Structure 1
Amino acid sequence: MKVILKEDVKNIGQKNEVVEVADGHARNYLLPKGLAVKATDSQLSKLKQKKQARKRKKQQELNEAQKKADKLEDKVFEVSVKAGETGKLFGSVTTNDIADVIEDETGVKIDKRKVELDDNIKTLGTKKVTINLHKDVTAMVKIKVVEA
């Protein structure tokens, strides 16, 4: 019997996958537990529509990330902080600070977890920072740390 899995089922398949299983297994286990539905023409067409919608959504997310990257690429963002005489900061510039500065200057909202920083910036100067906007899209920006 052909069924469409509603959830991942060990040793059978992944969610939204059409699989062939024994009739007894489908009738006695998969269907009563709500793990699968019979693969009728209407169910298969619904599955196809879901896959197309998911594909469109992923493409739209990729396009939005690319637009954000184009806005941010090769820009210099200035962060003002208090520093000592040797150029060492009182505190540090974190990913949260960088995300806030980018949002203030460009209006592009970025999650602080998307900012790739080896360690918090603790000295004055300019540093290159990578921002992961999507799994396929990254943007390089420069963060210029100046004394306030």
Structure 2
Amino acid sequence: MSKVILTHEVTGLGQPGDVIDVKNGYARNYLIPQGFAVSWSRGGEKQVEQIKAARVAREHATIEEAQDLKSKLEATKVKLTVKAGAEGRLFGSVKTGDIADAVAAAGIGSVDKRKIELSGAIKAVGEHEATVRLRDDITATITLQVVAAK
């Protein structure tokens, strides 16, 4: 087992700044090369504090703000215009960054693309749902209306 410090949120492992034990191969072959973690060292304690401070700054400040954003997200259908073929199949798929940009363009608020979770790939026009984790205890469900560009 090797100790690593998470620099990004990894579903099932933890939040940025967490010091966790993972198998050597998982750390060496996936977490560290992808930039999700760095090796733990004695000087890493300063880095942990910096990562946690940045995480707190990015997180929505209060529960009231998160609840307000949740109600706005769930009340509005977010429209995404994408390139599609004649039968409604997309050229590619909708990514979380596209969803975050569409939410911002709709004037609802800003959402971090890393906090958006899709149940499956969106590869066709129509209505789809995505989940946004605003805080550890608050999640919102967005209704996406995917339409073909003309």
TM-score tier after normalising by the smaller chain length: 0.5 to 0.7
Other-structure match for 2:79:
78
Other-structure match for 2:111:
110
TM-score by length of 2: 0.55
C-alpha spacing 1:96/1:74, structure 2 compared with 1 (3 Å): same
- Native 8 Å contact 1:91 1:122 kept in 2: yes
Other-structure match for 1:47:
none
Which AA in structure 2 matches 1:99? A
Q: 2: distance between equivalents of 1:77 and 1:107?
A: 9
1:125 partnered with 2:111: no
Which AA in structure 1 matches 2:100? A
- Native 8 Å contact 2:84 2:91 kept in 1: yes
Other-structure match for 1:65:
66
**DSSP-derived class of the 1:116 partner:** strand
Unmatched runs of 5 consecutive residues or more in structure 1:
1-57
C-alpha spacing 1:136/1:83, structure 2 compared with 1 (3 Å): same
Q: 2: distance between equivalents of 1:70 and 1:106?
A: 14
- Native 8 Å contact 1:95 1:120 kept in 2: no
Unmatched runs of 5 consecutive residues or more in structure 2:
1-58
Q: 1: distance between equivalents of 2:112 and 2:60?
A: 20
Which AA in structure 2 matches 1:95? T
**DSSP-derived class of the 2:140 partner:** strand
- Native 8 Å contact 1:93 1:120 kept in 2: yes
Task: Return the index of the structure with the highest Cα Rg.
Answer: 1
Within a 5 Å distance, the mapping from 1:12-51 to structure 2 comes to: none
Q: Deviations over 1:97-117 (max 9, x none)?
A: 001000111241100011111
**DSSP-derived class of the 1:84 partner:** coil
